[in-house]
Amino acid sequence: MLTNQQFVDVAEEHFTGNSPEAKRINRAIRKFAKAENNILIVGDTGTGKEHTARKIHALSARANRPFVVLNCSALGYTLERRDILGAETEHAGNIQRTIGLLEKANRGVLFLDNIDDLPEPYQFELLQVLREEKLRRIGGTENIAIDVRVISTATGDIEEKIEKDEFRKDLYYALKSLSINIPALKTRKQDIPELFIFFLKNYCKQNELEIPAVPAEMFESILEYDWKGNVRELKNCVENLVMMSRNGELSTEFLPFEIKRHPLDFLEVKNLKGVISEVETYLIKKALGKYAGNQVKAARQLGIPEATLRFKMKKYAIPKD
């Protein structure tokens, strides 16, 4: 069990972890922050794509400039062209202006989340803005020069959309001057304990809570789990554990998945000879079943002489077929 004093301080890394994958991403973050190229970040949901984008921005020369988020999945639903480009309307001789997200990002970063969900009508318009480095508000008459660095995110299926002519290839390459692939958490499991502690300390600090002790079996369980929701799921798991567990110690009872038990956990505590006979009977039946009753092969699989196998079959009343 880890007590509060046994926690190793976890500095807020660019991308938490010591796996080769995490180190590769951190190198890319440092290098890409010094450039001005557009960046495409590819990875599954919850892997940390926006986190990576914000770290690049924070280390770049544009750090003190806006970081404007545009969720491409919302276009055509809660967001429209006027939200992107802005608008101008004249009323009683006065011009009323609405500043769009592109203009708000001027001299900063435009973060295009889920670029693979960008509706086709918006793709050409965005490409033109990036090529010409200017836009015109809806209803306006003048072009407005803009200087934005675009960081986009996508899942792995964007190239399939290009093949199906659902996403413009020229826009794809305009956005992918540089690229980073963020791996799923299950492929870098050695980072899980460090991430777990990082989220635990952060959450406790934000909520002015004492850092609880962590049972050793907690790490065994979280390392076996696949984390399909990736880092985001792990973060939510930690927060739930802190809230649900009693003060002082986290409880595996509140993990969001069933803890894998040892194969022999089902055995009741009783006379040792009785337990051994249960295990031997089970394994002999399983070996015979695997080899269709062939005692020679079953004995070889079990690592015992054939005579011993026949003796135990008679002892435990195990039928030959």
How does DSSP assign 110-157, residue by residue? EEEETGGG--HHHHHHHHHHHHHTEE--BT--S-EE---EEEEEE-TT
- What pLDDT score was predicted for residue 171? 96
Mean per-residue pLDDT for 44-60? 94
In the chain, where the domains are located: 20-184, 188-254, 272-315
- What pLDDT score was predicted for residue 229? 92
For residue 291, what pLDDT band results from cuts at 50, 70 and 90? confident
CATH class given for the domain over 272-315: mainly alpha
20-184 is classed in which CATH architecture?
Answer: 3-Layer(aba) Sandwich (3.40)
Q: What is the CA radius of gyration of the chain?
A: 29
- What pLDDT score was predicted for residue 6? 43
Mean per-residue pLDDT for 189-218? 89
* In the predicted structure, residue 182 carries a pLDDT above the cut 90: yes
* In the predicted structure, residue 76 carries a pLDDT above the cut 80: yes
CA angle 56, 62, 64 (to 5 degrees): 105
For residue 146, what pLDDT band results from cuts at 50, 70 and 90? very high
The identity of residue 38, as a single letter, is N
pLDDT, tens digit, 9 for 90 and up, residues 183-201 = 999 999 889 999 999 999 9
pTM, full prediction: 0.74
* In the predicted structure, residue 73 carries a pLDDT above the cut 80: yes
CATH number for the domain whose boundaries are 188-254: 1.10.8.60
Mean pLDDT of the chain: 87
